[in-house]
Amino acid sequence: MSPSDQRQEHTGSYYAATANEISDYPVLEDALDVDVAIVGAGFTGVASALTLAERGYRVAVLEANRVGWGASGRNGGQLIAGVSGEWKVREKHGDSVADLLWGMRWRGNDIIHERVAKYGIDCDLKNGYVEVASKARQLPDLEAEAEELQRRGHPYEFRLLDRAGAQDITQTDAYVGGLLTCRNGHLHPLNLCLGEARAATGLGVQFYELSPVTAIEHGQRPAVITDHGRVRADAVILAGNAYQRLEMKHLGGYVFPAGSYIIATEPLDEDRRRRTNPLDVAVCEMNEILDYWRLSADGRMLYGGRCNYSGRDPKSIEAMIAPRMHALYPHLADLRVDYQWGGKIGIPVNRVPVMGRIEGNVYHCIGYSGHGVNATHIMGEVLADAIAGTLETFDLWAGMDNVRIPGGQAFGNQMIALGMLWYRLKDLRP
């Protein structure tokens, strides 16, 4: 990690302002010996730690900043099934993996629902998500998804929407159709991450904050090193995603950080809530460069999108995002914006998460392309399975041909930005 990414408190987000607790785990100042050491206390790290602890492993988690400090605690809070790039996995490995991938795509939703119930995690979890089509050419993909849900006997409510149906749910005429899925939904991501960490702590996991890992010593039992301590383990998991800076010889050039930005308005009154989002669902566009929004538990509009692939943050997040919200919902134009924030999401060049292991016992999974709430929990379980010796699913993803861009982050971000310009032009097609 660079110094600017180390030892920082949470960003000034709505989520940080409404967190159930302020985590205060100690700094690592000792030498530990555990079964698994995890670098990064976002969703991948925390979810895999909890899975491993439930299976009896001794686990230590080291975080450079605070639990949920990165994208895991800042994202749009949309719980959406699937893993980015899963169709490429099926394309590479054939139809024999279709059933496995279908089960995987909903597994993260199940894990989160189960943990919220089992551990009493208060994270405003609510079912209901609508993917909306801006153009007629996007409708066949929604129709195919609805057909697959029907064919597989999906046990939760879903509904294909025509123009009128999409307008009724979103209260705007900007969309020509959509797909409502009720096992998908939305939540308070930071409170979920903090709640899972608290549950893992109760099972014996040791968390350390403000303890950036500076190096890894490889060997039969590798060690992760900080300024004031070390943890030796049988296996290590690297879970830094967009903020990952370790093992760049092996991982550099695969995943690039893209800026994503959100605003939160003051709370809407009941009338405006009904005229904006009457079913209280999460909404996401199908465009390559997309917008997404939902209402918070206290009725604020959380509106985000417009990913920035250049590596430069906007001077004003509100000035960039609010006009887009106002274009869809003019009746919100007079609302005060109480919070505005951004962060980095990890974007692999081919949109397939980069999973693998280094020297046999240092595991990693990074690069969720902005769809990480569900996918991180899936991959946390896959990593735990791999450490236990069950490698079938791990090998599917580790065997993918990830694209690597040489030349460092600045050059890589320029290439990604150029590529996304092409996608933006694609979005403009009728």
Give me the mean pLDDT over the 199-213 stretch. 98
pLDDT digits (tens, 9 = 90+) for 166-197: 999 999 999 999 999 999 999 999 999 999 99
Binned at pLDDT 50, 70 and 90, residue 416 comes out as: low
pLDDT digits (tens, 9 = 90+) for 7-27: 689 999 999 999 999 999 999
Binned at pLDDT 50, 70 and 90, residue 4 comes out as: very low
pLDDT digits (tens, 9 = 90+) for 51-81: 999 999 999 999 999 999 999 999 999 999 9
User: CA-to-CA distance for 239 and 380, rounded, in angstroms?
Assistant: 9
**Minimal CA–CA distance to 169: which of 181, 156, 154, 186?**
181
What average pLDDT does the structure give for the chain? 92
Architecture of the CATH domain 3-74+190-255+350-409: 3-Layer(bba) Sandwich (3.50)
User: CA-to-CA distance for 51 and 159, rounded, in angstroms?
Assistant: 33
> pLDDT at position 3, please?
39
End-to-end CA distance of the chain: 42
Give me the mean pLDDT over the 274-290 stretch. 93
> pLDDT at position 242, please?
77
> pLDDT at position 422, please?
47
What are the residue boundaries of the structural domains of the chain, listed by start?
3-74+190-255+350-409
The answer on pLDDT for 425 being more than 90 is no
pTM: predicted TM-score of the whole model, two decimal places:
0.93
Give me the mean pLDDT over the 93-108 stretch. 95
